[in-house]
Structure 1
Amino acid sequence: MVLLALLIGGPIGLAAGYFGGKIDVVLMRFSDVFLAFPPLLLPIAITAALGPGLWNAMIALALSWFPWYARIMRASAMTVRRELYISAARNIGVGHLRILIRHVVPNSLTPVIVQASMDFGFAILATASLSFIGLGARAPTVEWGLMAVDARTDFLDHYWTALFPGLAIFVTVLAVNLIGDGLSDILGPKRGGKE
């Protein structure tokens, strides 16, 4: 789901940030339409329209999250396009596509990678939430939110049937967020100097 959101939002933000002008305005207003909805309300509406299922839930979540990646990629691309090596490449006749692929994309990916690693945990929670309310995965698909909803009826007699899927969600989200935090420390900009 995070990869799909990145594949939708990345090129939009890249084009908006690199070319600017009317292209930037049109692409960012398109993204703003999706940002106008609360983060879980839009996926609920899209999944309800498409029908329940894990793939439909992933598509719905990607459509509601891609604007964040478009905004991050746009900001990075705007910063990179002002660099002298981009001006030098343009002046010697290098085409826009080659500049984008060889220079702008590799130098713009760090904040997007960090954000994607942090969002992975939220994607797990959102997918489990959609499954819990009946709009995500359907049986016989194995999914933690679906396991938790199936365990509701026997919770008092067999508490572990709800406890272990919940713990799995908790531990996985915590681990992914710690990895994302570590990536932000490693890949993020260095602040300060020697103390």
Structure 2
Amino acid sequence: MKPDHSRRYLQLFEALSVVFALCDMHMRDLEVDIHKIKDDPTELLRVLASCWSIVDCVHRTRELSQSVPGLSRNDPSLRKLLSATKSAEEFRHYIQHLRNELSNPDSVTTPVWGSLSWVDEENDQLCYTAMIGTMYEGTNHYSCVYDRYNNRWVSRVALTVKGTTFNFDPAAEAVAEFRKFILNWIIHKSSIKIEPRVEFPIVSCLVDLS
């Protein structure tokens, strides 16, 4: 007798749905706020928060998707997602183990928080790069990559740490594409009805301090 994973399917559906929504929200914020930096450098911290939140959402998508019961590791949609977002693993490892990374300062070849690059919203030939940390001798910085073969930017926003680049546009597109697949897959596999939720219950509590 096959185990009934319906409750787990429901939990994974809800977990992934929220992660997808958070990723969308942070990408929207990033696409707007990134262009404020050139006029107001203090916006860089807000943008950096969005960047690392997106990295975390992509990493969480990878982790949750690989724990879905019955979904083969060889599934084309899953393999495509994992291939397109593999840099998220290295980024998460770097920030999670930043203490250890900085214990060997020579191994950190970029500014501590990396170099953030973006393409101007009006001039498609203009790219900016912010070095988020001190540039010691031998420290490297990176910019957005232009694909001359396809005549387009690989990503209009990119963050690089220790030589590894996270390209936000293709990563977000890969997550959005996988979203269409995995949520429907879970709905069809579950023996109980699963419906997307846009509202969640809120409970109020009045405390009498008298």
- The TM tier, using the shorter chain, reads 0.3 to 0.5
Q: Which structure carries more strand by proportion?
A: 2
What's the TM-score once normalised by structure 2's chain length? Answer: 0.30
Q: Which structure carries more helix by proportion?
A: 1
What's the TM-score once normalised by structure 1's chain length? Answer: 0.32
